[in-house]
Amino acid sequence: MPDRVTGTVQAEDIPRELAAALAMHPIRGARYRITLEEVEATDEEKLATLRAAVAKGRAEFAAGLGIDGEAMFAELRAEFFPDTVNK
């Protein structure tokens, strides 16, 4: 998948927030070339996502949805390292 994609759009199809950012407003009926590329999340966004995941995990644990750590590791060992189980 490419890191960026360039395409041609009609002026009427340009999102308002992009059109407003242009020095000259798009001319109705004209075609424009637009390049799109994914923007990496900021450190603040990453931290907010992490905090939300931790809060969700705590809420699930408080609701009794937690899994015993030893049991979980035993299950993982049995699935991914079956030759080491019971040794």
As averages over each run of 10 residues, the pLDDT of the chain (87 residues) reads 86 91 89 91 96 96 90 92 78
Please check whether residue 65 lies inside any domain of the structure.
yes
Tokens 């966004």, located at residue: 45
For residues 47 and 33, membership in a common domain is answered with no
- DSSP 8-state secondary structure symbol assigned to residue 87: -
**DSSP-assigned letters across all residues of 17-54:** HHHHHSSSPPPTT-EEEEEEE--PPPHHHHHHHHHHHH
pLDDT given for residue 1 in this prediction = 57
For residues 49 and 76, membership in a common domain is answered with yes
Please check whether residue 87 lies inside any domain of the structure.
no
For residues 21 and 47, membership in a common domain is answered with no
Please check whether residue 53 lies inside any domain of the structure.
yes
Range of the domain at 62: 43-81
Q: How many domains does the chain have?
A: 2
pLDDT given for residue 6 in this prediction = 94
pLDDT given for residue 2 in this prediction = 66
pLDDT given for residue 85 in this prediction = 72
For residues 29 and 52, membership in a common domain is answered with no
